[in-house]
Structure 1
């Protein structure tokens, strides 16, 4: 049986779903193109995603295409309970509520896997990894394939593949151009700022914001922070990305130096202990720490908890730690700030990501017998079709190459 916080929230969740659908016409076009064919008829599709209004559009789209759908959360704190209740009312097997314990979180993932899904769509690869740890080789159940939404999850899957342990083909949706160029940059950039502002209600103009990591997520955060008047410092371990940040007009320095100037520190690396003891000790009174990465490992929260003389919640999703006479503020327990303290990405950018997800699931269903157990990129035709759908949804027309130009492009002399 589905398990949600409060089934009575379904009507409120329906309104959230309807609002998202108004702004996700890119995804709607993909669904409309395939709904008569119903390519997922008879297929069990599992989703381990942040349960938001945008996710509801993807989940309902999979059902429209014929799938038997189950859903759990990709983070213990990111579920929107009204959306979970709405989806459960629509016949979706939902196992998700906000503020799950870690035991409850993994129990929900196990409940979805117990449905023996044919495909797994994950965000962070907790479901993929749990299948390999607890289900692989212990029964005759094996998915035909999967997809992965985020950088952290792709890294884990590549490690499985490199060890020869990956049990089924997976498409790295995160790596689609129409995903990481827009979702990671524009979506996370805006929604992380949204989460910081909701949690703190501070003025960004004039503040020093340190952004750890200058991948697509870090670029988006740095750009949005500067756009709101902040002075931005970037920290990096990759010399090429550091050079790019410098050329983009940001100050670049090591974290141990940047920490001394920071009013706000935002991590966006996917790595462990990016902000740690020596950095926190160097920070000034009142600094705010936020994480935009998938897992709560980028800020050393354990050190904060074990060394604070006093700890209290001062606002929703904002805790104060008193250390060495200073106040250190942590947003969302060090978990992904845009989903814990805000509502996640705007629907317009999630429409791009979820169109890639849905079309990749359909691709796996049709082609899994010819695929090896490895991590694949999103097929180029899917990426391009999503871009075409996006332009059409926005009412944007572009040129087409002439016959002469096509012939010229083939010449070498």
Structure 2
């Protein structure tokens, strides 16, 4: 991870993050551990939890804890454990809350801000949510509110900034901000070209095929695959699966992305027209209910469904589980078969969580170094920065700096402009 190592070397003696209290939620993998350790080495006090209950590497969580860093994460947490872990992640020494948040799903910021608003308007915790996760969060917040009516006001009193990594997490916070006031400025990491063009694309391209083959024990050659969404994640998945011999179709709502997919040789279709034909379905949109229960009932026997987008929204898993006529049979810890009354079955990978992380697929240290270097540089800026409360994009200058930190590792050289080339 050359970028993070370079930043450590440059700042280790200066401790520029000293005084920052960072609450973070990311996939707990080897590469995330190096990032967490880097923040700590640079002087920050950090507390961490997981952003995906299936992706935590327990040995890595233990190694982080062994270094004296508070971490609340273990593989296979249930939803109640998940919200408890986030709750604990906010509690620093001397009963202080975080000065900064690094979030991958929007859930840290959502819990803190919903808890804060509930202290002023308790009835918001009674609102209906179709997602079980949100419902469980509200139940947890009700218990907190019953014990302490100013808990979240105290915890959030020194909050200065929120760094939100994913587009879907940003969407969650935008939806929240339409109804309530944000407590701190939100920096949208997904606006960075490093995150979208390097991390999202290459992480998907280099892991999706391996993960599907390993979890499902199936080959991709000749399989009909539908990828819902042709953003950077969808493009990475499409390229990888095509290289593995799959016949790839794309569904897309954006005309420009649909045109781009068609010009790259992919078949662009509507999901309704192909859901009874394809072998494998992958969601990569960040939107709600992309694959509905009605779609699943139309799928061919043993169709495989997995997610590379938002792990709570895209696949209508709750209705699938609530239908009394559908029989659920676990195949493995990462694969579940659902039988319909007509005898057909479908296979859901990792309970619709991110398939590449659920299987513990390598996230490629070099690629993660790029995103984590960007996050580290951003925290260095945010230490003394006070922007207006609202949503902020990432300055392209940080993208350029991250790129420079990694070029030498690839033996790449930049051409300098001279007066004769300007």
> Are the counterparts in 2 of residues 188 and 221 from structure 1 also a CA contact under 8 Å?
yes
- Counterpart Cα distance in 1 of 2:326 and 2:392: 49
Q: Name the structure 2 match of 1:99.
A: 76
Alignment match of 1:312 (pick from 306, 329, 343)? 329
> Are the counterparts in 2 of residues 73 and 95 from structure 1 also a CA contact under 8 Å?
yes
> Are the counterparts in 1 of residues 251 and 270 from structure 2 also a CA contact under 8 Å?
yes
Which sections of structure 2, spanning at least 5 residues, go unmatched? 120-149
- Counterpart Cα distance in 1 of 2:221 and 2:418: 48
Instruction: Give the superposition deviation at 1:162.
Output: 4.6
Q: Name the structure 1 match of 2:132.
A: none
Q: Name the structure 1 match of 2:360.
A: 342
> Are the counterparts in 1 of residues 326 and 338 from structure 2 also a CA contact under 8 Å?
yes
Q: Name the structure 1 match of 2:111.
A: 130
Specify the SS of the correspondent of 2:420. helix
Alignment match of 1:378 (pick from 378, 394, 401)? 394
Q: Name the structure 2 match of 1:410.
A: none
Q: Name the structure 2 match of 1:229.
A: 245
Name whichever of 255-264 and 158-167 sits farther off. Answer: 158-167
- Counterpart Cα distance in 2 of 1:216 and 1:127: 25
Alignment match of 1:41 (pick from 18, 35, 38)? 18
> Are the counterparts in 2 of residues 293 and 336 from structure 1 also a CA contact under 8 Å?
yes
> Are the counterparts in 1 of residues 320 and 326 from structure 2 also a CA contact under 8 Å?
no
Within 5 Å, give how 1:20-169 maps onto structure 2.
24-115=1-92, 116-135=97-116, 138=150, 139-140=153-154, 141-163=157-179, 165-169=181-185
- Counterpart Cα distance in 1 of 2:106 and 2:331: 33
- Counterpart Cα distance in 2 of 1:312 and 1:150: 32
Instruction: Give the superposition deviation at 1:342.
Output: 2.7
Specify the SS of the correspondent of 2:281. strand
Instruction: Give the superposition deviation at 1:294.
Output: 2.7
- Counterpart Cα distance in 2 of 1:207 and 1:393: 37
Number of aligned residues: 381
Instruction: Give the superposition deviation at 1:344.
Output: 5.6
- Counterpart Cα distance in 1 of 2:6 and 2:190: 20
> Are the counterparts in 1 of residues 208 and 240 from structure 2 also a CA contact under 8 Å?
no
Q: Could you give the per-residue CA deviations for residues 366-400 of structure 1, whole angstroms, max 9, x where no partner exists?
A: 212xx111121112221100011111222211211
- Counterpart Cα distance in 1 of 2:363 and 2:49: 18
Instruction: Give the superposition deviation at 1:170.
Output: 2.1
- Counterpart Cα distance in 2 of 1:54 and 1:204: 28
- Counterpart Cα distance in 2 of 1:151 and 1:32: 31
Within 5 Å, give how 1:284-295 maps onto structure 2.
284-295=300-311
Name whichever of 86-95 and 39-48 sits farther off. Answer: 39-48
> Are the counterparts in 1 of residues 3 and 402 from structure 2 also a CA contact under 8 Å?
yes
Q: Name the structure 1 match of 2:343.
A: 325
Q: Could you give the per-residue CA deviations for residues 314-343 of structure 1, whole angstroms, max 9, x where no partner exists?
A: 234111111121121110011111111233
- Counterpart Cα distance in 2 of 1:390 and 1:305: 45
- Counterpart Cα distance in 1 of 2:113 and 2:302: 43
Specify the SS of the correspondent of 1:367. coil
Instruction: Give the superposition deviation at 1:82.
Output: 0.5
